[in-house]
Amino acid sequence: MSSHTSHLRAPLILGNRTMAQLTDDILSPIERKPTGLWWLAFVIAASAAALGCMAIGVTFYNGIGEWGLNRTIGWGFDITNFVFWVGIGHAGTLISAILHLFRQKWRTSINRSAEAMTLFAVICAALFPLIHMGRPWFGVIWFVPYPNMRGPLWVNFRSPLLWDFFAISTYFTISAVFWFVGLIPDFATFRDRTNSRVKRAIYGALSLGWSGSNKHWTHYETVYLLLAGLAAPLVLSVHTIVSFDFATSVIPGWHTTIFPPYFVAGAIFSGFAMVLTLLIIARKVMKLEHLITVEHVDNMAKVIVATGMMVGLAYGTEFLIAWYTGANYEGFAFVNRATGPMAWSYWIMVSCNVISPQIFWFRAARRNMVVVFVMSIFVNIGMWFERFVIIVTSLHRDYLPSSWASYTPTWVEYTILLGTFGIFFSAFLIFVRFVPAVSIGEVKAVRMFAHRAAASSGATAAGAVAGLAPSPAAAKEAPAHV
């Protein structure tokens, strides 16, 4: 290899594929009938979702007395799951918006699936505040002002729970619009390829009259950039506001100013882990290894180890603050986490979130799909336990020893948790069945970018081997606006 090629980065799209071949690769899972493996996964996920809905129905019928809560521990699995799913939804907007603003082109093969994951995770998260009301048809009215004989009765704007409502609804709305706008060119491509009148009508309506003209691409890129600018602050604001549910209280273990950055780092940490869990499976099952490459997995593993170190620093800082303040109750809360009757949950959290990601310091581990997949599962387990530790271990031993209590989840709580995973995976399986899992236009743009980079470096021969050099057919096919 010549000296001027040694500094070139590995291509983001493998194989010297033409534009038409890339389109076929991305749309083939939609155009062909679902495989037996897809049906098996969907039946399992839908069954879990059905069980969860049954448990939610039991909760609505009998009330939250079906859960293992008591006077001391008023929050358990419900708010733990709420914070967990909100965190899972962070990676989609981060990959799509912030990395787009920073011109990180490795995002192009993974952003579509991450955005969809965001929407499904937020839907799962939104279920838990409603379920926690016990009778949501009575309680939801407190989220909106309503008229009465004394005029409008306003909601309590000082409540962090109300801040959650506005933050999450705004986040979901912007994320949904951002996701849909990115899909418009791909909907038009499928509209022009399908032979089914029904599909042509549906995808034609969804494509909003897209023609692929230079004018349409110019407006599209402007709108996409504006939405990315709107969505980027939400990555920081949403989980910051969720952390205020705890930080604005006076309970030891919650009342700390480190929670906002700590929660944001943890949300990105868990969100990227879930993206890896899904995409490592999807790239194999849908045969997208040349689009979702080892380089994409490597970059996401680097983000995980970076945010994992931030989370580990936060764990240590919490103990330092508790010791430095000299507050007896605060110090006891953290010592109790590590040595009390629920210390097992704390050490599961530390092992999964702080120790296990350190393997990603090794390049061979970051590029081994089995290792990355297993580590992503560990991180998701650890991040769920992090929320459990914050909530339950801070509540079960409060100021008065006479009110100390334990917490044992019931089968209803376990089933609701299982059901949300069923809803999440069912929605994702439907997504990959009817919507392109990879952005066609953005992947083609990255391919041409790689070609130009190789050509400008004079590495045409080496690039052809690595899939960088454009073929004559591709050069003819590539439109100027892609």
Both tokens of 211, joined, read 């023609």
Both tokens of 410, joined, read 């019931």
Both tokens of 188, joined, read 């038009």
Judging by beta carbons within 10 Å of its beta carbon (0-12, 13-18, 19+), is residue 214 exposed, middle or buried? exposed
Q: Tokens 């995976």 map to which residue?
A: 425
Residue 10 is predicted with a pLDDT of: 67
In this model, does residue 2 exceed pLDDT 70?
no
Read off the pLDDT of residues 109-162 as tens digits, 9 standing for 90 and up.
888 888 899 899 999 998 888 888 777 777 666 666 666 655 566 777 788 888
When mean pLDDT is compared across 74-88, 317-331, 466-480, the lowest value belongs to 466-480
Confidence of residue 355 (pLDDT cuts 50, 70, 90): very high
Residue 143 is predicted with a pLDDT of: 67
Read off the pLDDT of residues 199-228 as tens digits, 9 standing for 90 and up.
889 988 998 888 888 899 899 989 989 998
Read off the pLDDT of residues 33-91 as tens digits, 9 standing for 90 and up.
888 888 998 999 999 999 999 999 999 888 888 998 888 888 888 899 999 999 888 87
Average pLDDT, the chain: 83
Both tokens of 232, joined, read 């980027």
Amino acid letter, residue 69: L
In this model, does residue 452 exceed pLDDT 80?
no
Confidence of residue 168 (pLDDT cuts 50, 70, 90): confident
Confidence of residue 24 (pLDDT cuts 50, 70, 90): confident
Q: What is the mean pLDDT of residues 183-204?
A: 87
Residue 386 is predicted with a pLDDT of: 92
Residue 425 is predicted with a pLDDT of: 93
In this model, does residue 477 exceed pLDDT 60?
no
By the 8 A CB rule, do 68 and 408 touch? yes
Round to whole Å and give the CA distance between 480 and 370. 40
Q: What proportion of the chain, given as a percentage, has pLDDT over 90?
A: 29
**Domains of the chain with CATH codes:** 1-32+439-482 (no CATH), 33-438 (1.20.1630.10)
pTM equals 0.84
Residue 141 is predicted with a pLDDT of: 67
User: Of the ranges 305-314, 400-409, 461-470, which is most confident?
Assistant: 305-314
Q: What is the mean pLDDT of residues 223-242?
A: 87
Q: Which residues contact 210 (CB under 8 A, 6 or more apart)?
A: 184, 185, 187, 188, 216
Round to whole Å and give the CA distance between 118 and 88. 7
Q: What is the mean pLDDT of residues 311-317?
A: 92
457 against 328, higher pLDDT = 328
Confidence of residue 461 (pLDDT cuts 50, 70, 90): very low
Residue 479 is predicted with a pLDDT of: 38
By the 8 A CB rule, do 135 and 63 touch? yes
Residue 449 is predicted with a pLDDT of: 59
Residue 133 is predicted with a pLDDT of: 79
Residue 9 is predicted with a pLDDT of: 64
Residue 474 is predicted with a pLDDT of: 37
When mean pLDDT is compared across 256-270, 275-289, 368-382, the lowest value belongs to 275-289
In this model, does residue 480 exceed pLDDT 60?
no
In this model, does residue 383 exceed pLDDT 80?
yes
Confidence of residue 464 (pLDDT cuts 50, 70, 90): very low
